[in-house]
Structure 1
Amino acid sequence: MIELLVISRLLEYPDAALWQHQDEVFEALASSAKLDKEDAQKLGVFLRDLTAQDLLDVQANYSELFDRGRATSLLLFEHVHGESRDRGQAMVDLMNQYEQHGLQLDSRELPDHLPLYLEYLAQLPESEAIGGLQDIAPILALLSARLTQRESRYAVLFDTLLKMAHSEVDSDKVAEKIADEARDDTPQALDAVWEEEQVKFFADQGCGESEIAAHQRRFAGAVAPQYLNISNGGER
């Protein structure tokens, strides 16, 4: 499903290759058989507005949006397991799933990074790809609600994925649930998280190596895939 590759590419860290090859992405949207005209147009507008900006500004905004705090993280297991030890086993299981379908990781991205997961789904038969989207629909709805709350244009990507999944998740209820949610990307919130992690770190050292640290080292070499045959030359 080329549509999943397109959205995967748009959710990746913005790089010069996307600016240089944007016409290919527009063409993929225009020829899509899975998106209705309105949804294809919304994605086209998103891409047009994105590439109309300075690349460095877009990269800075992307990092502010997806890399500060956990609420809008693109790491799927962040929203399921947090920092629990279950996350490590879930990573192993997902990597095995990728390998069974011939997807080899050779970059620094973790296997639960959403763009990578979408690239994997794009290789599957349509029914299986849709099933994979349905598996993560609650996370997609949560991210959509939080991005909408922050008035981010990236929300349209998640809305499109939910529509492709034929999701039965009630987006209005999700929005109501997070309406009074405290943001975790403010300086005060980030300082609180840092202090909490420091306490956990020293506690863990008292009883051997931290389980989280072990998982982080184990998966430190995971990779960002290439999408739409566009070379991803961006550095973060």
Structure 2
Amino acid sequence: MIELQLISRLLEYPDAELVAHRQELFDALSHASNLEQSDTHALGDFLRDLVSQDLLDAQASYGELFDRGRATSLLLFEHVHGESRDRGQAMVDLMAQYARAGLQLDSRELPDHLPLYLEYLAQLPQSEARGGLQDIAPILALLSARLKQRESRYAVLFDLLLNLAQTAVDPDKVREKIAGEARDDTPQALDAVWEEEQVKFFADAGCADSDITSHQRRFAGAVAPQYLNITNGGQQ
């Protein structure tokens, strides 16, 4: 499904290559036969807006949206397993799926990164790709709702994925679920995460009674941290 390749590329960090190959993306969009006409227009509008932005502004907005906090993380297992040990096994299982499909990962890539998962689905027969989208539909709906709450245009990409999945997720229930959520991308929330990670690091290091732990406690009390290729081929 070439639609999944398109959306995968648009969910990656915007770079100069994206802008340079924008016409190829528009050409690929003309072959997106699995989208309704209104969805094709919505995807075209998103692409046009993205490539018309100043690149540095687009990159800054992307980083603020997807790299600060966990609520809008593009790492799928972040929303399923969090920091539990089950996440490691889930990663191994997903990598095995990729290997069976002949997909080789770069050593820096995490297998649950949504753009990578979409690239994998794009190589599968349409029915299997749709099933893969249905597997993550609740996560897609959650991300869509949170992005709309933040008035981000990226929400349209998640709505398009849900349409391609052809599965029903009650948007009212999702909105109700996130209604009382506190933002996790504020400086205060990021400070709290930083402090939690520092405590966890020293605890895991087995230094509960050491001078390091004593120093860490004094430090935490004295100082508060301030901040913490798409191709036209492959259509299924």
TM-score range, shorter chain: 0.7 to 0.9
1:91–1:112: 8 Å Cα contact kept in structure 2?
yes
Distance, in Å, in 1 between the alignment partners of 2:231 and 2:163 is 22
CA drift of 1:31 comes to: 2.3
Distance, in Å, in 2 between the alignment partners of 1:72 and 1:227 is 24
- Equivalent residue number for residue 227 of structure 1: 230
Q: Which runs of 5+ in 1 are unaligned?
A: 208-225, 231-236
Q: Choose between structure 1 and 2 for higher RCO, CA contacts under 8 A separated by at least 6 residues.
A: 1
Q: Which runs of 5+ in 2 are unaligned?
A: 208-228
Q: Secondary structure at the match of 1:201?
A: helix
CA drift of 1:39 comes to: 0.2
Alignment of 1:129-168 (within 5 A): 129-168=129-168
Alignment of 1:12-161 (within 5 A): 12-161=12-161
Q: More deviation in 145-154 or 103-112?
A: 103-112
Taking only aligned residues, the RMSD between alpha carbons, in angstroms, comes to 1.5
Report the number of matched residues: 213
Distance, in Å, in 2 between the alignment partners of 1:41 and 1:154 is 15
Distance, in Å, in 2 between the alignment partners of 1:94 and 1:10 is 22
CA drift of 1:227 comes to: 2.5
- Could you list the per-position Cα deviations for residues 155-190 of structure 1 after superposition, in whole angstroms to 9, with x for gaps in the alignment? 000000001001211112101210121000000000
- Equivalent residue number for residue 169 of structure 1: 169
1:147–1:154: 8 Å Cα contact kept in structure 2?
yes
Distance, in Å, in 1 between the alignment partners of 2:232 and 2:117 is 17
Q: TM-score, normalised by structure 1?
A: 0.87
- Equivalent residue number for residue 217 of structure 1: none
Distance, in Å, in 1 between the alignment partners of 2:232 and 2:201 is 41
2:24–2:232: 8 Å Cα contact kept in structure 1?
no
Distance, in Å, in 2 between the alignment partners of 1:3 and 1:229 is 11
2:28–2:232: 8 Å Cα contact kept in structure 1?
no
Q: TM-score, normalised by structure 2?
A: 0.87
1:43–1:157: 8 Å Cα contact kept in structure 2?
yes
Distance, in Å, in 1 between the alignment partners of 2:183 and 2:90 is 27
Amino acid at match of 2:37: K
Moved runs in structure 1, 4+ residues, more than 3 A? none
Higher Rg: 2
Q: Secondary structure at the match of 1:103?
A: coil
Q: Secondary structure at the match of 2:61?
A: helix
Identity %: 78
CA drift of 1:148 comes to: 0.3
Distance, in Å, in 2 between the alignment partners of 1:170 and 1:107 is 37
Q: More deviation in 107-116 or 150-159?
A: 107-116
